[in-house]
Amino acid sequence: MIIKTYLKRVGHNMYLIPIPGKQGEQILKEFGKRVICKGNGGKIHCAVQKSKTHGFYIGAGKDARKKLKIQSEGELVLTIQEDNSKYQLEVPEELSEVLETDPEASERFEALTDGKKRSLIHYVGKAKQSMTRINRALKIAENLKFGFTDLKELMS
Indicate if the pLDDT at residue 68 is higher than 80.
yes
Model's pTM, two decimal places? 0.79
Average pLDDT over residues 26-31: 94
Digit-coded pLDDT (tens) for 7-22? 999 888 889 999 987 9
- Residue range(s) in the chain whose domain bears CATH number 2.40.30.100: 2-82
Contacts for 143 with CB less than 8 Å, ≥ 6 apart: 153, 154, 155, 156
CA distance linking residue 26 with residue 111, whole number of Å: 31
CATH number of 2-82: 2.40.30.100
Digit-coded pLDDT (tens) for 119-134? 999 999 999 999 999 9
- DSSP class of residue 61 equals -
Indicate if the pLDDT at residue 69 is higher than 80.
yes
Contacts for 119 with CB less than 8 Å, ≥ 6 apart: 151
